[in-house]
Amino acid sequence: MLVKNNEDLYELLDSLLREPTEFWDTFYKDKERNVPFFCDRPDEHLVKYIEKETIKPHNVLEIGCGNGRNAIYLAQKGFNVTAVDLSQQAIEWAKEQANVQNVNIQFICENIFNLKLESKGFDYIYDSGCFHHLSPHRRVSYIQFINKYLKNNGYFSISAFKENGKYGGASLSDQQYYIDRSLHGGLGYSKEKLQILFSDFQEIEIRDMQHNNLNQNEFGLEDFIVCLFRKI
Ligand SMILES: C[S@@+](CC[C@H](N)C(=O)[O-])C[C@H]1O[C@@H](n2cnc3c(N)ncnc32)[C@H](O)[C@@H]1O
């Protein structure tokens, strides 16, 4: 491969690590598996942002929507929802669920780094558990993506593994992932790392996800960090 530009370089680095589509298609094949987020509850922090009206119904893009549990909640709350995932299996499951709930969502099966949307921009971009599965060099593409598709004054949220948490969250140096040719099940993030990475955005909140064993209507896991930023 002849590297001619940044994108060629990112693709070269991608090729050193696992190709994600096959992995996620296999992951979503069996819907009965005991995976915490194979459920129909929306994330606890998302519910709070909507109930407190921090985020008001408008155009929202969900990145890595999985089975659609958060996209469906947002559609039920009156948002105009576009939801993207690179796994066909996940998107088919999400479409089924949206039909059952009788909500209208634009689902797109695509890797976000190949995505070309006609949209003039979204008021809110939501990511629950996708960012921590991206390789270090793709953080650069990710921030470009957010800047491209988020309107000025728009919000975006991430929920990610904390470092060395119960469910994952590797805390190696960025260099080590390429040496090992593995993301070790997902990268862990601290409040400080997220503040550095998203320093061009206004921090609204960064906190631990609330563990919601007792709340049957919301989803929350320990050892996750959730954050809300605003594009200024
Ligand atoms: C841990 S799962 C979370 C799914 C969903 N957000 C949830 O919380 O139930 C991560 C999701 O991100 C998707 N994903 C990973 N990398 C992606 C990429 N580059 N573009 C689009 N989707 C991606 C995977 O297919 C998977 O569905």
Crossing angle of helices 138-149 and 6-14, rounded to 10°: 130
Q: What is the pLDDT of residue 35?
A: 96
Which one of 130, 131, 141 would you pick to mutate in the ligand 1 pocket, going by the greatest count of ligand atoms within 8 A of its CB? 130
Is 147 inside any structural domain? Answer: yes
Residue 110 phi, psi dihedral angles, 5° rounding: -165, 150
Q: What is the pLDDT of residue 213?
A: 67
Number of domains in the chain: 1
Which residues, given as ranges, of the chain have pLDDT below 50? none
Is 2 inside any structural domain? Answer: no
Q: What is the pLDDT of residue 20?
A: 96
Q: Residue 198 is part of a domain; what is its CATH number?
A: 3.40.50.150
Q: What is the pLDDT of residue 212?
A: 77
Q: Whose CA is nearest to atom 16 of ligand 1?
A: 130
Instruction: List ligand 1's pocket residues with C-beta within 6 A.
Output: 20, 24, 37, 64-67, 69, 84-87, 90, 111-113, 128-130, 133
The region, left, alpha or beta by phi > 0 then psi within -120 to 50, assigned to residue 230 is beta
DSSP, residue by residue, 180-198: HT--TTSB-B-HHHHHHHT
Q: Whose CA is nearest to atom 18 of ligand 1?
A: 111
Q: What is the pLDDT of residue 119?
A: 83
Determine the distance separating the centroid of ligand 1 and the alpha carbon of 36, expressed in angstroms: 14
Is 19 inside any structural domain? Answer: no
Q: What is the pLDDT of residue 214?
A: 63
Is 116 inside any structural domain? Answer: yes
Is 153 inside any structural domain? Answer: yes
Determine the distance separating the centroid of ligand 1 and the alpha carbon of 180, expressed in angstroms: 22
Is 222 inside any structural domain? Answer: yes
Between CA 181 and CA 61 the distance in angstroms is: 31
Q: Which domain holds residue 210?
A: 39-230
